[in-house]
């Protein structure tokens, strides 16, 4: 396993992103919408740096493996618990790869008439993009390699690693 982004680099970036987000939203109420399960650590660390006007909700899409390339359809496995109508929503993603999931979720959530809808993602693989996407706040751009850790899994393993690593064949 090759460490791509260290625990301390992640922590510094999360603090920096939170600072920008705090300035942009000021005292407005903000709903953080985490995409399960990959965004759990990013969302919780980010939330700790934001002010008191933050609430959290979660949404889960269907497993992307296989289905994505064949059907191009993203299904909702777990929907939000509460209405986002009239609220400022920040969608919290772990990684943007082809852009399919993000575009689908953005379209879906827009139909629910939030006051605003923005996206923060810890990682992005610009080289893998198939769908044009807008990421309002981004942590790191990474090469087109399969990464694990800090929420990201391989067959449900490695999510609890405190750093981001490239999974090698040997691992
Ligand atoms: P997209 O719809 O942008 O192609 O894919 C986004 C989702 O694919 C992410 O939320 C994540 O679940 C998964 N994914 C994409 N690249 C990686 C990767 O390098 N590692 C892991 N663990 N998941 C990835």
* Domains delineated in the chain: 7-143 (3.40.50.2020)
Mean pLDDT of the chain: 92
Candidates 97, 136, 153, 169; catalytic one? 97
* pLDDT tens digits for range 82-103: 999 999 999 999 999 999 999 9
Distance in Å, CA 63 to ligand 1 centroid:
10
Residue 48 to residue 28: CA distance in whole angstroms: 16
Place of tokens 């810890």: 122
In this structure, what DSSP letter does residue 127 have?
Answer: G
Residue 138 to residue 129: CA distance in whole angstroms: 15
Q: What is the pTM of this model?
A: 0.93
Q: Which of 74, 95, 106, 108 to mutate to test the pocket of ligand 1 (most atoms within 8 A of CB)?
A: 95
Distance in Å, CA 42 to ligand 1 centroid:
14
Per DSSP, helices labelled H in 76-152 are 100-110
Q: Is the pLDDT of residue 114 over 80?
A: yes
Distance in Å, CA 84 to ligand 1 centroid:
25
Length, in residues, of the chain: 171
Active site (annotated) includes residue 97: yes
Residue 4 to residue 2: CA distance in whole angstroms: 6
Nearest residue to 32 via CA among 10, 12, 13, 17: 17
Quote the pLDDT of residue 167.
87
Q: Is the pLDDT of residue 68 over 60?
A: no
- The torsion angle over the Cα atoms of residues 150, 153, 159 and 161, rounded to 10 degrees, is -70
Which residues does ligand 1 sit against, CB inside 6 Å? 38, 64, 93-102, 146-148, 152-154
Quickly state the pLDDT bin for 133 (edges 50, 70, 90).
very high
Q: Whose CA is nearest to atom 15 of ligand 1?
A: 97
Residue 2 to residue 21: CA distance in whole angstroms: 31
Contact assessment for residue 89 and residue 33, using Cβ atoms and an 8 Å cutoff: yes
Instruction: Please state whether the peptide bond connecting residue 37 to the residue before it is cis, i.e. omega within 30 degrees of 0.
Output: yes
Residue 157 to residue 149: CA distance in whole angstroms: 9
């Amino acid at each position: 396993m090759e460490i791509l982004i260290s625990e301390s680099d992640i922590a510094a970036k999360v603090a920096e992103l939170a600072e920008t987000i705090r300035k942009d939203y000021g005292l407005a109420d903000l709903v953080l919408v985490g995409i399960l399960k990959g965004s759990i650590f990013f969302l919780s660390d980010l939330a700790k740096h934001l002010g008191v006007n933050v609430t959290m909700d979660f949404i889960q899409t269907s497993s992307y493996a296989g289905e994505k390339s064949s059907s191009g359809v993203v299904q909702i496995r777990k929907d939000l618990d509460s209405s986002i109508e009239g609220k400022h929503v920040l969608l919290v993603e772990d990684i943007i790869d082809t852009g399919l999931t993000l575009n689908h979720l953005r379209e879906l959530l827009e139909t629910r008439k939030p006051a605003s809808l923005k996206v923060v993602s810890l990682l992005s693989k610009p080289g893998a993009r198939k769908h044009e996407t807008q990421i309002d706040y981004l942590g790191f751009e990474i090469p087109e390699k399969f990464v694990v850790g800090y929420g990201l899994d391989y067959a449900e393993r490695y999510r609890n690693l405190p750093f981001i690593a490239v999974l090698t064949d040997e691992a």
